[in-house]
Chains A and B, each alone.
Chain A
Amino acid sequence: MTHINIAGLEVGQVIGTTEFLLTRDSLVRYAGASGDFNPIHYRDDFAQSVGLDGVLAHGMLTMGAAVQVAVDWVGDAGKVIDYGVRFTKPVFVDAQDGAVLVVTGKIGEIDAENGEVRIDLTAVFNETVVLGKAQARVRL
């Protein structure tokens, strides 16, 4: 039930790039939606008191936004059957300018027999890759 023909895919092929602007507003919204109210995600004074440079995005927000590249490609959020990341670098969110996260998805592996594709995601903030081994397996 997708528009994608698995036989036409190649490993290494870029499936899309999306730029996400994460602002303080995004963090408050994610805090409310997820129930993660750790103040390091909305209070500079608190973040600094625990040794951080400032407020940082929830790792789970970065993870949740990054997978949208795979979701948009496959067209159905329900087709992401396995998704994992490592949180390797913080995303600091400036009070005025926010933070720009650029996510690129590439085909990492093709399993034609089961109709599944692994999408490897690269999430970059401030010229630094912030997620490690970000891989989403989708069922076509």
Chain B
Amino acid sequence: MVNVNVQGKKYPATNPYLVGREKIREFAHAVKSTNPINLDVFAAQAAGYTDVVAPPTFAVVIQERSLATVLNDTEADIDFSRVVHGDQRFIHARPIVAGDELVSVLEVASVKSLGAHSMVTFETKIFAEGDELVCTAISTLVVRGGE
């Protein structure tokens, strides 16, 4: 069982993540994007961006860095082998663009029990330099109980 006492717990900011142009292209190809704004620097600049723009779900890469901290936290006691992704949402204040240097701060928004299972909702705020909020990623994991 997930420790309900970690509800409200905040985890320290991750080491800065530098968003690379080729990482965006790699991710865009992986999610089957053909949008030039993700792939073509000149198309992105013509649309008013400084460089290629990340696909709408790219923030998961940043979120995962914060989640890894929680999954390694013995106080939270989350058995990763029993985790199923329940839902996911990304709210963007602005798109992530190549060249951004991002840090994320995760808070355990809620821990709920459903019989033997636990549902844990995480809220990860992703900031660019100067504490500019770029994206809020909300993720719920279902942790199956033991037999």
Q: Which residues of A contact B (CB under 8 A)?
A: 1, 20, 26, 29-30, 32-36, 50, 59-61, 63-65, 67-68, 71-72, 75-78, 80-87, 132-133, 136
A87 B31 Cβ-Cβ under 8 A: no
**Residues in chain A near residue B49, CB distance under 8 A:** 78
A83 B56 Cβ-Cβ under 8 A: yes
A29 B29 Cβ-Cβ under 8 A: yes
Closest beta carbon of chain A to B79's beta carbon, Å = 12
Closest beta carbon of chain A to B131's beta carbon, Å = 20
Chain B residues 64 to 107 lying within 8 A of chain A, measured CB to CB, are 64, 81, 84-92, 94-95, 97
Whether, in the assembled complex, B54 has its beta carbon less than 8 Å from a beta carbon of chain A, the answer is yes
Whether, in the assembled complex, B47 has its beta carbon less than 8 Å from a beta carbon of chain A, the answer is yes
C-alpha spacing A80/B94, complex, angstroms: 9
Q: Which residues of B contact A (CB under 8 A)?
A: 23, 26-35, 37-38, 47-49, 53-57, 60-61, 64, 81, 84-92, 94-95, 97, 138
In the A-B complex, the 10 residue pairs with the smallest Cβ-Cβ separation, listed nearest first, are: A84-B89, A64-B31, A78-B95, A33-B30, A80-B56, A64-B57, A78-B53, A86-B87, A30-B30, A33-B27
Contact A76-B37, Cβ < 8 Å, known A67-B56, A71-B56, A85-B87: yes
Closest beta carbon of chain A to B95's beta carbon, Å = 4
Contact A68-B31, Cβ < 8 Å, known A60-B57, A87-B87: yes
Closest residue on chain A to residue B68 by CB atoms = A35
**Residues in chain B near residue A71, CB distance under 8 A:** 33, 35, 55-56
C-alpha spacing A20/B86, complex, angstroms: 22
C-alpha spacing A23/B56, complex, angstroms: 22
C-alpha spacing A59/B86, complex, angstroms: 9
Interface pairs (30), CB distance under 8 Å? A1-B47, A20-B32, A30-B31, A33-B23, A34-B61, A34-B64, A36-B64, A59-B85, A61-B30, A63-B88, A64-B32, A64-B56, A67-B31, A67-B55, A68-B34, A68-B35, A76-B35, A77-B33, A77-B37, A77-B53, A77-B54, A80-B56, A81-B92, A82-B89, A82-B90, A83-B56, A83-B57, A83-B90, A84-B89, A133-B87
B87 A136 Cβ-Cβ under 8 A: no
B38 A77 Cβ-Cβ under 8 A: yes
C-alpha spacing A71/B61, complex, angstroms: 19
Contact A33-B87, Cβ < 8 Å, known A64-B57, A77-B95: no
